[in-house]
Structures are given as structure tokens and as C-alpha cells.
Amino acid sequence: MKRPFSYKLNIFLFLLPALILFLGVLIAPIVMSFVYSLMDWNGLSTPTYIGFKNYVELFTSRSINISRALQNAMLLAVLSVCIQLPFALILALKLSQHIKGERWYLAIFFMPVLISSVVIGQLWIKVYNPEYGVLNALLRSLGLDSWTRIWLGDKNTAMGACLVPILWQYVGYHMLLMYAGIKGMPAELNEAAMLDGCTPAQVSWYIIIPYIRPILRVSVIFAVTGSLKSFDMIYVLTNGGPMHATELPSTLMINLLFLRNRYGMGSTIAVMLIVLCFVFALLINLAFKEEK
């Protein structure tokens, strides 16, 4: 009778440090954020309980305008799934075909992931500079002067201009995930398909892609939740401007927390982001499950 109890106690004791870490680092901040989201608090005075007023204000205030931030985040998520991931998949399929210089290409495509977003942001600010930027210079040299723009300063072009470096930066990350999945496939699967007369395109479509579906699911989850949480590149490129045209929930949250001293409202956006990430992760899991 004593052994099973002792066995369970051992399991509990061994899991306890991880549990404490999990509760302290992940669960406690979420709970605290939820508690603060019910408060009117400037970060310095005593918080006042106001129920769900912050949530009501978040979705009704013209000044905060969360709908614009959510629209931008959703646009980023859709483009990540529809452009970034297919591009990463094509690269992964091509590189896994034992092409010459495979490792070099892998390193080159993965390099933007290793470079700090601040550095990449600064590089793209130079590219988009209306006077000496490469983009406008290229357009002028092609005689397309009327196409030149103040790319990051015009509210009609700023979001598009920000999307390019954000999508470009993480292609290599998803490519590497998919490449690892493809390389982990048993070789006989491909060989059998080839012997049966499949073209390389058919092997990719009917054999490789279904096989790496768990990895594709992880990539989709990372791309969607990453888009919802996206912050650094937009912060460097436009800081949410001009006129909030590139505002994302996270930049709005920083603005409310540290510029407006509205810690209660900032926590409300944090809670909303956590809920959205969970919901989207569950929906994506469900979508991939149904396909099975």
C-alpha cells in the first residue's frame, strides 16, 4: 500500500519545481493581468475596482479604436498564412531536393531570423526613405516617378510597407521547420512514389505535404499567434503611425501602459490578446483535426 503512494509522491515532488515555475511565470501574470483589467489604475495610485468598464470602453472608444488594431493584426495573420507559409513551403521543398549549395541557401534564408528586428527595421527605413531610399530610386530610374511614395509616412501605404519586412523576416523560420520535417521523412516513401511514376510535383503534393501536416499545423499556429502578438518591427518602422494606420494591439497596449499611464486598460488589451491567441490556436487545431 505504501509503494503506490510513495511513487505518486515522488512524481509530485519531481514535478513540483516545474509546476511552481509554470504557475509563477505563466499563470500568475495572466491572473494578475485579468485582475488589473478590472481596475482603473495609473500605475502609481491605489487601483479602483470598476468591473468590466475597461472592456466596454476598449470596444466602444473612438480614441482607442481597437477595431483598427485588430483589423491590422488579422490582415497580418491572413497574409502570413497565405503568403509567408506557402513561400516557406516552396523553399523547403526545393532545398530538400539535394540541390547544390543546400546548406548555404538554408543559412542565407534563415539569416533574417537571427538578425535583430531593430536592425532589420532600420535597414528597411532606409530602403523606404522618400529621398535617398533604394525603392524610390529604383522607381525613378525606371521612369516611374509617379509611383514614388512616402512609403512609411502615407497612411495608405504604411501598412503595406510594414508587412513586407515582417513577412520576409520569418519566411526562413518556417522554412527551417518544414525542411526539418521533410528531412525526417523515411526515404522509401518518396522512392516508392517515384517508382510508381509520380512526378516531383506529385510527390510533394500527395506524399510530402500530408506527411508534414503536423509541422504545417505548428507553423500556422506560430504564424497566426505571432501576428496577433507582433510588435517589434512595427514599433521600429512606424510606432503605429501615421495616424494609427499601422497600429497593432501590442503597440496600442504599450501606448496605453507607458504613455497614457492607463495600466488597467493596457491589462485589458493583454487579456484580450491572450484569449485571442488561445482561441485561434484551438480553432487551428480543430481545423487540422477535421482534415484528418
Which residues of the shown chain bind another protein in the complex (CB under 8 A)? Answer: 42-46, 62-63, 128-131, 150-155, 241-244, 254-255, 258-263
Smallest gap from Cβ 22 to another protein, in A, equals 23
Nearest CB to another protein, comparing residues 147 and 206: 147
Q: In terms of Cα–Cα distance, which of 221, 261, 253 is closest to 234?
A: 253
Annotate 25-81 with three-state secondary structure.
Answer: HHHHHHHHHHHHHCEECCCCCCCEECCCHHHHHHHHCCCCCHHHHHHHHHHHHHHHH
Nearest CB to another protein, comparing residues 116 and 199: 116
Q: Is 184 helix (H, G, I), strand (E, B) or coil?
A: coil
Nearest CB to another protein, comparing residues 71 and 261: 261
Nearest CB to another protein, comparing residues 134 and 243: 243
Nearest CB to another protein, comparing residues 200 and 241: 241
Residue 165: alpha-carbon gap to chain centroid: 13
- In contact, 150 and 241? CB cutoff 8 Å: no
Nearest CB to another protein, comparing residues 15 and 138: 138
**Alpha-carbon distances, residue 155 vs 133, 161, 228, 253 (angstroms):** 18, 10, 21, 20
Q: Which amino acid is at 262?
A: R
Q: Which three cell numbers stand for residue 152?
A: 512609411
* Distance (Å, whole) CA 166 – CA 86: 15
Q: How many CB atoms lie within 10 A of CB 52?
A: 11
Name the residue with cell 495600466.
Answer: 263
Smallest gap from Cβ 235 to another protein, in A, equals 10
Smallest gap from Cβ 168 to another protein, in A, equals 20
Smallest gap from Cβ 74 to another protein, in A, equals 23
Smallest gap from Cβ 27 to another protein, in A, equals 21
Smallest gap from Cβ 13 to another protein, in A, equals 33
Q: Which three cell numbers stand for residue 10?
A: 515522488
Nearest CB to another protein, comparing residues 243 and 286: 243
Smallest gap from Cβ 266 to another protein, in A, equals 11
Q: Is 96 helix (H, G, I), strand (E, B) or coil?
A: coil
User: Residue 206: which H helix or E strand, with range?
Assistant: none
